[in-house]
Homo-oligomer: A and B are copies of this chain.
Amino acid sequence: MPAPLEFYFDFSSPYGYLASRLIEGIANKHGRGVEWKPYLMGAVFKVAGTQPLVAYPLKGDYAKRDFARSARLNKIPFSLPQKFPVGTIGAARGHYWLAATAPERCATYAKAIYAAYFADGRDISDAQVVADIAAETGIDRAAFLAGIEQPEIKVRLKEMTDGAIARGVFGAPFFFVDGEPFWGADRIDMVDRWLATGGW
């Protein structure tokens, strides 16, 4: 079985959300799985000397237009949440608690969190809301809330974020395909071609 695509993202990234709806189709087409790797962009901004996209003059306005346009093109429901961007530490910890206890639920969980935020406008910075969403996918709500408070889960998210930075990740979505880095939802076509050809 060839290695899965590694998919790094922050749950607050609109382009990460779009990628969450597109990347499995590409991976499956080439007989690959997807490894979902949430991390915290806030830590990356400090190292990379960048800011959230919408904080930039000019670029921020373009980005808002492009989020919606890219979603329409791909027929993905999208509405920029009123509270945006938000901290996603609870959502990301929840992911790593699942990875440790029920890894088969990770993809469904990640897609549900993303859709709750970017399609339904729910506040995923609130751990109670995140627990509600988790519960809707069949996860035990109380166990989830306890899980995200476990010290080893907190450490795990920090390790994953530090590891992302160490590998050069500076945005979301960010993919590695057999070690080759690709940044951006608009590079999924290139990922597809890389998988089809083995690179160029």
Contacts and interface: CB of A to CB of B under 8 A. Distances in A.
A73 interface: yes
Contacts of A168: 58, 61-62
Nearest to A169: B58
Contacts of A120: none
A136 interface: no
Contact of A56 (B48, B69, B73, B181): B48
Interface in A34-88: 44, 47-51, 56-59, 61-62, 65-66, 69, 72-73
A50 B61 contact: no
A186 interface: yes
Nearest to A51: B49
Given A73-B190, A200-B73, A58 B62 contact: no
A149 interface: no
A190 B69 CA distance: 10
A138 B188 CA distance: 42
A171 interface: yes
B50 A56 contact: yes
A187 B66 CA distance: 11
10 contacts: A47-B57, A48-B57, A48-B58, A49-B57, A50-B56, A58-B169, A59-B170, A62-B168, A186-B187, A186-B190
A181 B73 contact: no
A152 interface: no
A75 to B, nearest CB: 9
A189 interface: yes
